[in-house]
Amino acid sequence: MTIVDILFYAIFISQIFLISYHYPKKTYERNLYVLRKYPAEAYPKLYRHSKFADPGKAVHRTIRRYLYANITIAVLGLGLLTAMAASDYAPRDIKENEQIMFILLFFMVQTLPYMLLEISTHNWLKNMRNLAKNSTRKADLSPRKLFDFVPPLYLGAAILAFVIWAIYYLYNKGFTSPWDWQTYSTIVFMTSINIVFISLGYKFLRGKKLDPHQSYKDQRQLIKTTLRVFVFASILMSVQLVVFDAINQNGWDMYEPIAMSIYFQVVIIFGVGQILRMFKIEDIDFDVYKEDAWLV
Amino acid sequence: MEIQIDIDDKIPLFTQVMEQIKHAVSDGALVAGDPLPSIRQLASDLEINNKTVAKAYRLLERDNIIQTKGYRGTFVHPTAIENCTADLNAWVTTELTKAITAFRNADVTDSEIRIAFTDVMNRYETKGT
């Protein structure tokens, strides 16, 4: 085994640990903390919309399943690594596309529980909004402007990263068209993803609260966290594509699976990790979920 | 600082928004120079039409409670606290009462007054809504 092979195994183990154990465990503990400290009896507005007789237990079941699903995927990942080691798999020997597909597919499996939890949270908030509808409506008179939540430097960095990627990519392809379909589709993909980030960011910034009872202070903190996640995701995407282009141009294919695994881990650290760091559960105002709570 | 409206209330929504902002100024919760949310943001948060908030802002600007500074946004007017006590609608009611009392004293009928009022309203251009 070469140093590259050992590095690949080490980084892939890190991917399994971070994405399928570390962050799911933190998410589980966070939700458990809420269930224990803010039960349905004292904070009915947090649970009232649930269709279950004991909403606390139902939520606990959901997050437990989320944790077990992640642990199962982690065990599967370790099993795959063991099989690879036993069959003397070496990244340097395998054709380029097979390596990438393996890492990419495994990452997609790892993100499945995250997506399902996100869908569950979305439905939870939607039911909360439907139940909270009444003729009285409230709004904060403080304006919400983009630079209140994201420093101009971060936005500038995201734009610069995109421009650098575009220039480097087209330089390698030749600046004059016609290009092949892959070039067009890459440009369309990158542009579309950034448009999606901008659209979602605008919706978070100027749209109404997803949680109808959330305090204005918490709403602003969530907006700040979410917008920064989008900006970092955009920067990371641009950087990742430049790295992969450089790898392809210089014939460093054996490093591609390592680079891809590192990229996915960084995405999670600056995505889920950022949300857990910036939107701490201990700082959230849960008094708004009491029966007689008024927004402050 | 929070405002609250009731969509089931008989009072028009734009009036509720105006009154809430005026109260915030007169109570000192908003002071001269304080920024206000954009029309779109406030309309989205209150789940009402943009035009309703736009109308409220237009009338507040007319009454020198707020001032719009283009792309920089909307702010509380420097003399908002004094202007809060001025009530245009009350002045209109007072003047109309005087005029109608004078017409009735001259034995002008109510239908004649109404016809003349409508004729004058239609003849002269109106500035706003």
| Per-residue CA distances from A239 to A48, A58, A153, A231 (Å) | 45, 41, 17, 12
Nearest residue of B to residue A208, measured between CA atoms: B45
Is some CB atom of chain B closer than 8 A to the CB atom of A98?
A: no
Minimum mean pLDDT among A12-21, A63-72, B80-89: which range? B80-89
Is some CB atom of chain A closer than 8 A to the CB atom of B48?
A: yes
- The C-alpha atoms of residue A290 and residue B82 are separated, in whole angstroms, by 39
Is some CB atom of chain B closer than 8 A to the CB atom of A132?
A: no
Give the model's pLDDT for residue A296: 39
Judged by CB atoms closer than 8 Å, whether chains meet at B6 and A136 is answered as: yes
Confidence at A41, pLDDT banded by 50, 70, 90: confident
- Asked whether the predicted pLDDT for residue B73 surpasses 60, the reply is yes
- Asked whether the predicted pLDDT for residue B56 surpasses 80, the reply is yes
Mutate: best of B2, B16, B76, partner A, most A CBs <10 A: B2
For the entire predicted model, the pTM comes to 0.82
User: How close, in Å, is residue A97 to chain B by CA atoms?
Assistant: 47
Share of chain A above pLDDT 70, in %: 94
Judged by CB atoms closer than 8 Å, whether chains meet at A139 and B2 is answered as: yes
Q: Strands (DSSP E) along B24-81, which ranges?
A: 35-36, 66-68, 74-76
- Asked whether the predicted pLDDT for residue A7 surpasses 80, the reply is yes
Is some CB atom of chain B closer than 8 A to the CB atom of A208?
A: yes
Domain ranges (residues) in chain A:
3-289
Mutate: best of B20, B25, B38, B45, partner A, most A CBs <10 A: B45
Judged by CB atoms closer than 8 Å, whether chains meet at B45 and A208 is answered as: yes
Inter-chain CB pairs, A–B, below 8 Å = 62
- Asked whether the predicted pLDDT for residue A102 surpasses 80, the reply is no
pLDDT 10s digits, A249-265:
888 878 888 889 999 99
ipTM greater than 0.90, yes or no? Answer: no
pLDDT 10s digits, A259-287:
899 999 999 999 999 999 998 999 999 99
User: How close, in Å, is residue B126 to chain A by CA atoms?
Assistant: 31
Give the model's pLDDT for residue A96: 53
- The C-alpha atoms of residue A184 and residue A176 are separated, in whole angstroms, by 12
Which residue did the predictor score with more confidence, B126 or A124?
A124
Residues of B in contact with A219 (CB under 8 A): none
Chain B, residues 5-24, CB within 8 A of chain A, namely 5-9, 21, 24
Average pLDDT over residues B109-119: 92
Averaged pLDDT score across all residues of chain A: 88
pLDDT 10s digits, A115-139:
999 999 998 899 888 888 888 888 9
pLDDT 10s digits, A240-251:
999 988 988 888
- Is the bond into A24 cis (omega within 30 degrees of 0)? no
- Asked whether the predicted pLDDT for residue B81 surpasses 70, the reply is yes
Is some CB atom of chain B closer than 8 A to the CB atom of A141?
A: yes
What amino acid occupies position A10?
Answer: A
Judged by CB atoms closer than 8 Å, whether chains meet at A139 and B37 is answered as: yes
Average pLDDT over residues B53-73: 92
Give the model's pLDDT for residue A277: 92
Is some CB atom of chain A closer than 8 A to the CB atom of B118?
A: no
CB B59 within 8 A of CB B18: yes
- The C-alpha atoms of residue A197 and residue A191 are separated, in whole angstroms, by 10
- Asked whether the predicted pLDDT for residue A214 surpasses 50, the reply is yes
Minimum mean pLDDT among A74-78, A232-236, A266-270, B88-92: which range? B88-92
